[in-house]
Each structure stands twice: as C-alpha cells, then as structure tokens.
C-alpha cells in the first residue's frame, strides 16, 4: 500500500492530524495497534485550551464538544486553608478552557473519519519504520495475521513514549531530557455531581489534591501519593476522607465533596520528558512520542494538538508551494512551545505538591508563591495566559 502521510497511532494526535490532512485533500492512513473499544475508553486528559478547542471547531470536529463540553473561565487555588479564584477572561482578553474528555475527542474524530471513508486501521501493530532519511520511508506492520508494508512520503509518529516511532530515530542523533518527580497521583472517576463550578487545585500539608469535572454528574479527582502506591491500599472511603481533608477551608468548615460510586481508580506517575529533535529525515514525532509533561498544567493533549496543527500547515504549505521551509522548521517551532509548557507544568507541580524532602523553609516558599498568584494581577495573568494556552505561531 502507498499513501502520502503514514500516521502511527490512533489517539487524539494521530486522528486530529488525519482530519486536518483530509480537509486539505492530502491522503493519509492511520495505523493504531489497539482495537477501537480500547482507544475510545482510554482515560487521559480532559482540559482543552482555547487554541485546541478552536482547532477542533475549524476542523469540523467540535459540534458535540460545543453541546456537551463545559466552558470554564477560571480555576480555584486553595492553600493555607483559604480559597482564591483566578479569572481567565479578565486576565487573557477573553480566553477560557473547555472541559471535554479525551475519550470524547477521540470518539468524535473516529466517527468523522469512518463516516468520510478515511483509512483507519485498528489492531495494526507497527514493527518498524525503514528509510526515514530516504524519499520513500516504509512502515512495516502486522494486521489480520499478515505482515504488511505502507510506503509513504512522510511518516508521523503519534504512538506515544513507548512507540516504535521514537525508537526509529537513532540514539546517536537524538537527545533526551527528563525529570522524574518523587510522588504520583491517585486518580478516581466517580459517579458524583461536582460541588464546585471550576477546577480546584489544593496545596496542603497532607499533600496536593485536584478536583476536576467530566460532566455535571461525573467527577474526576486526584490525590498526591508516594511513588509505588498500590491503589488497593486506598479503599473508596479512605480516598473520600483524604480529599475532604486536603480541600478543607477555615471559612467554610462544612464544605465537603459529593460522594458517589467510584468507577475507576489508578496511580499515575509524574514525569517530564523531551526528545530533540522532533524530526529525523521524513519521520516526524508528535505528542507523547516527543514529549511528556506532568498533568498538573493540563498540557499533554494540548501540546499534541499544537504539534499536529503546525505539521499539517507545513505539509499543506509543501504541497501548495513546493517549499519545505515550514517542514524544516517543524522541530524548532514545536520545541519552543514544548519547553514553555514544560516550564509551566514544572512550576505548577513543584509549587502545589509536598515533596518528601521539603523543609519548612521550602513550604514557606511555596506559600509565598501561591500568595503572590492570589494577590498580584501580573502573576495571575501569567498563570492564566499559560493555562488557557499560548497562540500558535502564524
């Protein structure tokens, strides 16, 4: 088989890239190693930056998001047993975020692609990428018990940190930057109506907590826990009690979360990772294949969407003008945004979490920074600007 752009990975990055290329009339094929049910149920991010939401709308993939997504105009910071709201529109010129789970983004993009007849191959295990520096790279994959090949003009790896694409970039030409954090998140999904209007980020002596939303009847909640924590060590009642303790307010001692059945529970490690460059010949990396951020800043899915938006524009520019200038600039263009997001995520993570090695001095520094965010419009504007998403380069 042959196509112009071979896309490895049928998550949000790969599917969005396929949609953008379909709309531009550039043929492409998406190969996903998992089945459709798995991909549509894979729990990940749920916060869409303004830029990401606008991209989905422009691509014709935003109708259900606009009907069912929840627009948030700020976040609440809780620290020192007090609450302080950061108002996004007043600080950013009107920007906000949309709460719409990655599972729903993926479902929408899959439905559109199948309806349009675009090639989307589930249960396709990519084994190797060959000839990345040639004019005709080849993807070797196995599907329906047969070994197959896909010859492409370009290959895009949207297959995550453990995927084949990143490993296809020789170790001699790539540099890895990474940081592991000394704590993890215990996340739960619960059939419980949120009792808060916007996301709540809590710093406490007991550790970090986050109250998020999936819908008016479903809550997504997180607790900071030690690395290596077994979810089974946290029965539901213990989770709810600890969440209430970390969100506690002096001026509202009766504030409690709405409790309900816990439908999912997992421990998420916290790490940062960047691979440079994000291009090797005609092989391009996007999303988690190139970079990972801790989830505190809500940047993972949004960085992936920005990557493939930049790449789609570059591929369209190449077709329309014959110029490879934008393709040649792809890695540098994306990495500028990636490192900005890495820094923001690092600051959010280290400011809000209780490090086991922290001294009382370190804790006072955290509280001083949080107090500045609560009282300085300049500091709050910087947080709001990064949280709602920086504009893509024109």
Q: Give the active site residues.
A: 72, 201, 295, 299, 387
Whether the ω angle into residue 122 lies within 30 degrees of 0, i.e. cis, is no
CA 205/CA 62 separation, integer angstroms? 41
Residues 130 and 138: beta-carbon distance below 8 Å: yes
Distances (CA, A) of 154 to 26, 173, 331: 11, 19, 15
Instruction: Residue 314: name the closest of 24, 60, 112 by CA.
Output: 24
Residues 127 and 140: beta-carbon distance below 8 Å: yes
Torsion, Cα 6 336 93 103, to 10 degrees, reads 40
CB burial string 23-40: b at 16+ within 10 A, e below:
eeebebbbbbbbebeebb
Helix (H) or strand (E) holding 155: strand 146-157
CA 284/CA 307 separation, integer angstroms? 10
Instruction: Residue 308: name the closest of 4, 55, 22, 16 by CA.
Output: 16
Q: Residue 112's Cα: distance from chain center in Å? A: 21
């Amino acid at each position: 088989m042959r196509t112009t752009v071979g896309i490895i990975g049928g998550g949000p990055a790969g599917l969005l890239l396929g949609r953008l290329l379909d709309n531009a009339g550039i043929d492409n094929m998406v190969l996903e190693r998992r089945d459709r049910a798995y991909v549509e149920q894979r729990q990940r991010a749920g916060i869409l930056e303004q830029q990401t939401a606008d991209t989905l709308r422009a691509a014709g993939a935003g109708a259900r998001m606009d009907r069912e997504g929840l627009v948030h105009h700020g976040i609440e910071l809780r620290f020192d047993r007090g609450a302080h709201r950061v108002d996004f529109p007043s600080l950013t010129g009107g920007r906000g975020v949309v709460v719409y789970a990655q599972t729903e983004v993926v479902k929408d993009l899959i439905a559109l692609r199948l309806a349009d007849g675009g090639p989307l191959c589930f249960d396709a295990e990519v084994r190797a990428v060959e000839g990345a520096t040639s004019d005709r790279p080849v993807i070797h994959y196995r599907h329906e018990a047969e070994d197959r090949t896909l010859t492409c003009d370009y290959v895009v790896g949207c297959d995550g940190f453990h995927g084949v694409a990143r490993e296809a970039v020789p170790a001699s030409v790539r540099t890895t930057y990474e940081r592991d954090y000394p704590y993890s998140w215990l996340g739960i999904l619960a059939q419980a109506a949120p009792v808060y209007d916007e996301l709540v980020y809590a710093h406490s002596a007991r550790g970090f907590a986050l109250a998020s939303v999936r819908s008016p009847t479903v809550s997504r909640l997180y607790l900071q826990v030690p690395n290596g924590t077994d979810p089974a060590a946290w029965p539901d009642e213990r989770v709810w009690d600890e969440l209430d303790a970390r969100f506690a307010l002096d001026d509202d001692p009766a504030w409690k979360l709405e409790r309900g059945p816990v439908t999912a529970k997992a421990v998420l490690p916290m790490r940062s990772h960047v691979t440079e460059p994000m291009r090797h010949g005609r092989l391009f990396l996007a999303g988690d294949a190139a970079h990972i951020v801790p989830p505190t800043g809500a940047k993972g899915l949004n960085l992936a969407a920005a990557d493939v938006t930049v790449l789609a524009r570059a591929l369209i520019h190449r077709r329309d003008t014959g110029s490879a200038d934008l393709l040649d600039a792809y890695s540098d263009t994306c990495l500028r945004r990636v490192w900005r997001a890495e820094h923001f995520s690092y600051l959010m993570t280290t400011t809000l979490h209780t490090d086991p090695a922290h001294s009382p001095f370190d804790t006072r520094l955290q509280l001083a920074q949080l107090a500045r965010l609560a009282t300085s419009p300049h500091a709050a504007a910087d947080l709001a600007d990064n949280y709602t998403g920086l504009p893509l380069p024109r």
